[in-house]
Amino acid sequence: MAKKTTHQNPGHTLADGDKMKLPELLYDPDVRQSSHAEDARTLARRHTTATLCSVSKKHNGYPYGSFVTYSMYAGHPIFLISGLAEHTKNLMKNPRASLLISDNTAENPLASARVTLLGECLKLEEHEIEGAREAFLNDHPGAIAYVDFRDFFFFRLNVSSIRYIGGFGRMSWFEDDEWLDATPDPIGPHAEGIIEHMNEDHSDALIVYCKAMSKATATQSAVMTMIDRYGFEMDATLSDGVHPIRIAFEHEVSSPEEARIQLVQMVKASRKILSSSE
């Protein structure tokens, strides 16, 4: 079950020790949303390239960063890497490593989601390769050209600790049990299309959601910014500026069709609320 979290925080501390106060939150802070572990798993599944940091063999323990391709398999990142690569040599001597996965989609890069996975990165045993091979080729079909070369090997980062940052004020450390218990959001692969459709074809519905289901009753315009299995988020423009709004689905959804049904039901309910208050 998703943990209840909130976008609200006490604000950043300024140089003189005062707090930078955030605007009033215009939606229920206890609205259901994904846990950090679920968000991190979704982020890791969304991407197939990242930065692998190993401990340098050549330069006496310095961290060494490499651009790598990866695939998620049974909850852990797997890599197909050459025995000639510097990071492979590093891992063979010292398996301690981390993997940085980042969205880098926000206007301010520091507001983008990212996750760092820490653990030991070890060469797979022979009996583990078949499933890993299939998973990796599913994400990287071009690797078929070298997957069976004798000097390429499958490695797995056995995730033991995780640092997730979902943007300003949304961050935490958690351990492998929470990571492995979480599952990627099933709406994640379809979110971009749903958001584009709602913003281009149903902008009026977004205003209705804000007016009826949040405190943003004077919303002038709204754009959807995110959707997941538990609900969706919008930026609502009011006379005093832009405010984030999150609204939960009545039931958790597992497909774009289920999300569409709930969005339709919610706009009908919202219009009834607004008409009854007139």
**pLDDT tens digit sequence for 175-230:** 999 999 999 999 999 999 999 999 999 999 999 999 999 999 999 999 999 999 99
Same-domain check for residues 46 and 130: yes
- Cβ–Cβ under 8 Å, residues 276 and 57: no
Same-domain check for residues 12 and 61: no
pLDDT, position 105:
74
Same-domain check for residues 237 and 143: no
Domain count, the chain: 2
Same-domain check for residues 161 and 273: no
| Beta strands 114-123 and 63-69, pairing class | unpaired
DSSP structure class, residue 251: S
Same-domain check for residues 4 and 105: no
Separation CA 32–CA 107 (nearest Å): 26
Same-domain check for residues 205 and 248: yes
Which of these three, 181, 201, 236, is where a domain ends?
Answer: 181
pLDDT tens, position by position, 255-266: 999 999 999 999
Same-domain check for residues 28 and 133: no
pLDDT, position 13:
44
Same-domain check for residues 118 and 205: no
* Closest to 28 measured CA to CA, from 277, 212, 245: 245
pLDDT, position 31:
94
pTM more than 0.95:
no
**pLDDT above 80 for 1:** no
Contacts by residues 175-183 (CB-CB < 8 Å, ≥ 24 positions apart)? 176/119, 178/35, 178/37, 179/37, 179/40, 179/41, 179/75, 180/75, 181/37, 182/35, 182/37, 182/38, 182/40, 182/41, 183/38, 183/41
| Beta strands 231-238 and 114-123, pairing class | unpaired
Please give the residue range of the domain that contains residue 26.
1-32+185-278
Mean pLDDT estimate for the chain: 91
Residue 24: pLDDT band (50, 70, 90) is confident
> What tokens were used for 86?
């510097």
pLDDT, position 181:
97
pLDDT tens, position by position, 116-166: 999 999 999 999 999 999 999 999 999 999 999 999 999 999 999 999 999
Residue 7: pLDDT band (50, 70, 90) is very low
